[in-house]
Structure 1
Amino acid sequence: MAIKQKNDTSQRGSRIKLTSKETSELIIEGIVTIVLLILLNIAILSLAQLLIKDTTTTKNLIFDIKEVLVKTFSNEKFYSLGNLTLGFMIIFDLIILYWRLIRRYHQMQLRHIISELHYIANGNYGHRIPFELAGDLGRVIESINGLVDSTVEAIEEERKIEKSKDELITNISHDIRTPLTSIIGYLGLIEEKQYRNEEDLLKYTHTAYSKAKQMKLLVDDLFEYTKVRQPSTPLNLIQFDMEQLLAQLAVDFEIDANKKGMHVDVITTPSPFIMEGDTEKLVRLFNNLIANALKYGRQGKQIVLEAERVGSEAIITVKNDGPQIPEASLNQLFDRFYRVEESRSQETGGTGLGLAIAQSIVVLHGGYIYAKSDRKWTSFVIHLPLMRSTIE
């Protein structure tokens, strides 16, 4: 959805400019008000004059007031009853005139604000009401613009989520379709007896079996990814020794590392290294990182698992001395299905979800992870709180 923008840069922060029609309306309002006030004043004076002529008591009261004023002030002419009455009437008329004009002006301002609001409501979410007003109308404009900003952010976030879902479905469909096509193809050959001997039959069944395992791995990783992506996913927190956990992982990967001419070393400070976490999920985290190092750290000879305590944090680094990762790819390593080299990924296999799962597990524990790479080491650095329960 494209967001249209009204050309209001020249009006940003400006006051409302009345149109010629609105100016004419304001002038007519003033003239009508003045005419009505003149008629009202004439009616009041006429009524007062009739009362003075017909009522002796009223005459005496007015005479007494006049006498008091004359004694109090020396200028009798200036404070004559007629001048005082005229002065009060003029002040009253000016107040009424100002009130009616300012009320009509505020109505016109509100009309402009409503017009801007309709323009935004028609889908022009990039537009903001540009007027800078004082008082209640100013606060209304600020509230409307703030609401539009929040709405645009929500729309953009929803759009990103939808795009992310579409990309996920597309990637899953592609990664499942490829092995599924092979499985169907080889099973079809077997079904139609398109094989020459038992050796061909075993070859076809083995290929179909391998592709089925590849599909199962993808489904398992996808399930794990969706599970750890939920912020509400529960953690089974226990205290454990990180040194022992890393040492056990090094033993588990020893055979695979030896096949690739690599070895896994563990360095921890202090020893023992006691911290808190969900060991099942942390094992999955380090399995993914070590497996990633074995796949893409070829030509290297060493994988190092380091853990050190810094303040209230545990900093764990999984690094290998394999080929350097380009700088442009470092920030995308944790994206779903992202691979630095497509050809290399096809050679080494994998679902493309391992690092995304690892990042989600770290976030669940209240930490963060990042990658760095130079000619000597490619490192995945993890920051975790030593005691997760103390920050909840």
Structure 2
Amino acid sequence: MLSIALVLLCLILVLLFRHFQLIREIKKIIKITRGIQTGNLNLRYRLQISQRDIENLGGELNRLVDYFQNGFERITFLEEERKRMIANISHDLRTPLTSLLGYTEALKFDTSLTTEEREDFLRITSEKGNALLVLLQDFFELAKLEADDFELKLQKINLVEIVPEILLSFYPDFVKAEITPIIKLPETPLYAQVDEVCLRRVLNNLLSNALCYGIDGKEIGIALREEESLVWVDVWDRGKGIPAQDIPHIFDRLYTGEASRNSSLQGTGLGLTITKNLVEKQGGRIIVTSAPNEMTVFSFCLTKG
């Protein structure tokens, strides 16, 4: 009887010990959850006993904390992006608006202006107004792209036909800037699965960008090439190039690199961001390489048709 009593006593002690261990682990989990409520996302649960249910619960708790921490970091990043974008939008809107108001005030109150000066002021006011309109249109287009409020109509298109047509539309700009256009196309048709409207916008953006930043090089080119199941389109210029530190950010919205805030250059600062979005919507990707004062190349790929 004594031996049975001792066995029962030992069993009771073991159960009590296990019970207090479980209570201790549960208290640790409660402490972690309370810490999370106060914003401390660095807490993690570490199991001290071998208990499958508690282990599963602790694992789920850690995964939940990781999820919230990643979400918090993402929210912080997006908030910083939002602040930066608002600052840049304010800058880009304020500049043309200030000019518009200045020229309008001069036209309204300055009676000493000659007819020629008034015509010149009206021309500048019109240009500033159009620039502001383009900026707002780009903002709306980018917002639609990022919200996936955009319907693609992919179809098989011969790039050998459409690329020269788009390049030809820039001919007056090339003549005015004394730029020599160069085009390299295969002798046979080259088809790709694309949305024609998107493709035209991408090429217009890249050629406009080349005109803005590559005008000093006096050469702008476009070429088509095949690579397995892909078609690559290269748009290049021989301007001053892109600094190495700017290349990783070149497709960011309103990136404030040295060149991107040069008021003497036309552009909204959104063109390349829109271009990247449009290329990726069609299942492609876009890259840029630049050798200062030699050649800058924007290359994007599309699925072969």
Structures share fold, TM-score greater than 0.5: yes
**Within 2, Cα distance between the matches of 1:283 and 1:208?**
29
Cross-structure match for 2:16: 100
**Within 2, Cα distance between the matches of 1:367 and 1:160?**
26
TM-aligned CA deviation for residue 209 of structure 1: 1.3
Does the Cα contact within 8 Å between 1:254 and 1:263 map onto a contact in 2? no
TM-aligned CA deviation for residue 344 of structure 1: 7.3
1:235 aligns with 2:152: yes
Amino acid at match of 1:383: C
- Corresponding residue to 1:247 among 164, 169, 175: 164
Amino acid at match of 1:173: S
TM-aligned CA deviation for residue 133 of structure 1: 4.2
- Corresponding residue to 1:377 among 283, 286, 295: 295
Task: Classify the secondary structure of the residue corresponding to 1:202.
Answer: helix
TM-score, structure 1 length as denominator? 0.72
**Within 2, Cα distance between the matches of 1:299 and 1:344?**
18
- Corresponding residue to 1:215 among 132, 135, 147: 132
TM-aligned CA deviation for residue 335 of structure 1: 1.1
Q: Cα deviation per residue 1:301-337 (whole Å; 9 max; x = unaligned)?
A: 3222122222221221111122232211111111112
1:183-222 equivalent positions in 2, closer than 5 A: 183-222=100-139
- The worse-fitting range, judged by mean Cα deviation, of 225-234 and 214-223 is 225-234
1:341 aligns with 2:233: no
TM-aligned CA deviation for residue 132 of structure 1: 4.8
Percent of residue pairs bearing the same amino acid type: 28
Q: Cα deviation per residue 1:85-116 (whole Å; 9 max; x = unaligned)?
A: 33333222221221122112211221122123
TM-aligned CA deviation for residue 298 of structure 1: 2.2
Cross-structure match for 1:124: 40
Question: Residues 327 and 230 (structure 1 numbering): CA distance in 2 closer, same or farther, change over 3 Å?
Answer: same
TM-aligned CA deviation for residue 341 of structure 1: 2.7
- Corresponding residue to 2:180 among 222, 240, 263: 263
Amino acid at match of 1:384: L
**Within 2, Cα distance between the matches of 1:133 and 1:265?**
73
Task: Classify the secondary structure of the residue corresponding to 1:231.
Answer: coil
TM-aligned CA deviation for residue 270 of structure 1: 6.4
Question: Residues 343 and 371 (structure 1 numbering): CA distance in 2 closer, same or farther, change over 3 Å?
Answer: closer
Amino acid at match of 2:296: T
**Within 2, Cα distance between the matches of 1:229 and 1:200?**
44
TM-aligned CA deviation for residue 227 of structure 1: 2.0
| RMSD between aligned residues | 2.0
**Within 2, Cα distance between the matches of 1:240 and 1:133?**
65
- The worse-fitting range, judged by mean Cα deviation, of 192-201 and 153-162 is 192-201
- Corresponding residue to 2:28 among 101, 112, 136: 112
**Within 2, Cα distance between the matches of 1:269 and 1:228?**
32
TM-aligned CA deviation for residue 339 of structure 1: 5.1
Cross-structure match for 2:243: 326
**Within 1, Cα distance between the matches of 2:259 and 2:227?**
38
Q: Comparing both chains, which one has the higher relative contact order based on Cα–Cα distances under 8 Å and sequence gaps of 6 or more?
A: 2
Question: Residues 132 and 107 (structure 1 numbering): CA distance in 2 closer, same or farther, change over 3 Å?
Answer: closer
- Structure 1: state its 5+ residue gaps: 1-84, 388-392
1:287 aligns with 2:201: no
Task: Classify the secondary structure of the residue corresponding to 1:168.
Answer: helix
Cross-structure match for 1:88: 4
TM-aligned CA deviation for residue 178 of structure 1: 1.3
TM-aligned CA deviation for residue 183 of structure 1: 1.2
TM-score, structure 2 length as denominator? 0.92
**Within 2, Cα distance between the matches of 1:187 and 1:359?**
37
Cross-structure match for 1:354: 271
TM-aligned CA deviation for residue 342 of structure 1: 4.1
Task: Classify the secondary structure of the residue corresponding to 1:307.
Answer: strand
Task: Classify the secondary structure of the residue corresponding to 2:264.
Answer: helix
**Within 1, Cα distance between the matches of 2:3 and 2:147?**
76
Amino acid at match of 1:137: I
Task: Classify the secondary structure of the residue corresponding to 1:324.
Answer: coil
Task: Classify the secondary structure of the residue corresponding to 1:347.
Answer: coil
- Structure 2: state its 5+ residue gaps: none
